[in-house]
Amino acid sequence: MLGDATLDVRVVPAMPIRPGGDVPASVRLGPGGQGANISVRLARRGVAVRLVCRIGSDAAGEIVRSAIARDGVELAEMAAPFTGTVVVLVDERGERTMLSQRVPLLVPPTLPDLSAIRADWLVVSGYVLLEQGAGMSMTGDAPIRVLAGCALEPGMAEDWMNGARSVRPHLVVLNVDEARALCAEDLEPAELSRRLGTTLETLVIVTEPSGATAARGDVVVAAAAVAGEPPVDTTGAGDAFTAGLIAMLLEEPWPPAADRLTAAMRAAGALAGDVTRVHGAQARLPEEGGDQ
């Protein structure tokens, strides 16, 4: 896994925020970052994971480092002047707004040597593609390469797509807002998946609260979300979907058959839904051994 490991500062205001005011809130510190979130969810499912990331030698780094290591993720750290931090504001509906201070991963001269990676699957965080000079010039057919989506501001789509082409992914996982930003059109998930899949020459899965959709040629593969309790915190749900999907497809030949893909999307969606009902991006679910 190539991506971020950050300290998440989760803030849940007890009442609406008032400019210039002092509002009571629940504030918690914990590990986060797309790379770490996906890695931890995979490790808790018995998958051997190595996370290539940057973590500083500061107090935040010690919190993040020890938490990830406890879950059995192998860390391949590169030096960083500080540990990335994300302030996560969670509203009364469980939706989150993030204020991020990332540490760029692709900083010369300590760039990760992707040609030296020995793994069956390589997962790349979409945030890495927004860094200056993020082209990775991937070659060869192995390992299976997965690209995770990320929040995109106006004007970022072209750079992100250029970076995505350099990864030459076998699979891309995007939420519906990310997919629409890349297509610059308000299309339905099946058409978004079809268009982006054709452009990137890969399998694209588009997720939304009601489920997940992929298009393989003229065949649409869909999995509806399982109904459950309302969300309390959506942080990390998309990362959990990606991890659950990979865990289900690891032993499958590529590309997966439609029925196996549907089953994997359904299981991944159930995991993502469960994550929205706990507090924190890496909070443990009951089947993962209780509270973190």
Segment 36-92, tens digit of pLDDT: 999 999 999 999 999 999 999 999 999 999 999 999 999 999 889 999 999 999 988
Question: Looking at residue 166, what is its pLDDT?
Answer: 87
Question: Looking at residue 271, what is its pLDDT?
Answer: 97
Task: Compute the distance between CA of residue 156 and CA of residue 115 in angstroms, rounded to an integer.
Answer: 27
Q: Which amino acid is at 108?
A: P
Q: In what order do the strands lie in the sheet with 25-32?
A: 25-32, 6-13, 85-90, 96-101
CA-based nearest residue to 204, from 182, 185, 234, 232: 182
Query: If you average pLDDT over residues 243-251, what whole number do you get?
Result: 97
Task: Compute the distance between CA of residue 218 and CA of residue 200 in angstroms, rounded to an integer.
Answer: 16
Over 70: is that where the pLDDT of 235 sits? yes
